[in-house]
Amino acid sequence: MKEKVIEMIEKRGVSIVDLAQLAYELQVDYIPITLEDAIENIHKVLEKREVQNAILTGISIDILAERDQFEEPLLSILKRDDSLYGIDEILALSITNIYGSIGLTNFGFLDKIKPGIIGKVNDSKGVQVNTFLDDLLSGIVAAACSRMAHSYGDSKIEEQEIQMN
């Protein structure tokens, strides 16, 4: 299923490296990581079933909205990415939450600033419906950041325990 998810993301114009780049930039000032670490962590996030379900559902809604498959008033809400809709943020949050609540801050920051690929996706609204996609991407990147922070925290604690023995 992970392959299907990556394929779906790429078809919408987003690569794993685009996402890894953002996660790398957000964390590099705090913990010693490389872009390769970030790529690996994006992959780990995409292996989680809850994450896959959120992505498959969200991107499918975007696509079906493009094809006018929803009824009104939902169709217009989706097409204009109504700022009071909120279901896109909810789905994205279910991704971020997989690695605990520390990802909330990065999610909100990414969703507000829309750096890199997230901004690109947001700008291409009008051509394609990306109501869910941009939030999902923020969720994936924030989750990868949390995962890296946890891994680094754990390795530091282990180190301390080894030194104490």
Q: Which stretch binds a second copy (CB under 8 A): 10-18, 37-45, 54-62, 122-130?
A: 54-62
Residues touching a second copy: how many (CB under 8 A)? 47
Q: Which of residues 82-141 bind a second copy (CB under 8 A)?
A: 83-87, 89-91, 93-94, 97-98, 100-102, 104-113
Amino acid at 121: V
- Phi/psi for 128 (5° steps) reads -130, 160
Contact between 32 and a second copy per CB under 8 A: no
| 1 in contact with a second copy (CB under 8 A) | yes
Residue with tokens 């008033």: 73
**Nearer residue to a second copy within complex by CB, 17 or 155:** 155
Residue 23 has a CB neighbour count (10 Å cut-off) of: 28
CB-based contact 152:31 (threshold 8 Å): yes
Between 73 and 127, whose beta carbon lies closer to a second copy?
A: 73
| 28: contact with a second copy by CB under 8 A | no
- Could you give the CA distance from residue 25 to residue 13 in angstroms, rounded to a whole number? 20
CB atoms within 10 A of CB 142: 30
Of 35, 33, 46, 68, whose CA–CA distance to 137 is shortest? 46
Which residues form the interface with a second copy (CB under 8 A)? 1, 4, 30, 49-50, 53-54, 56-57, 60-61, 64, 69-71, 73-74, 77, 83-87, 89-91, 93-94, 97-98, 100-102, 104-113, 149-150, 153-154
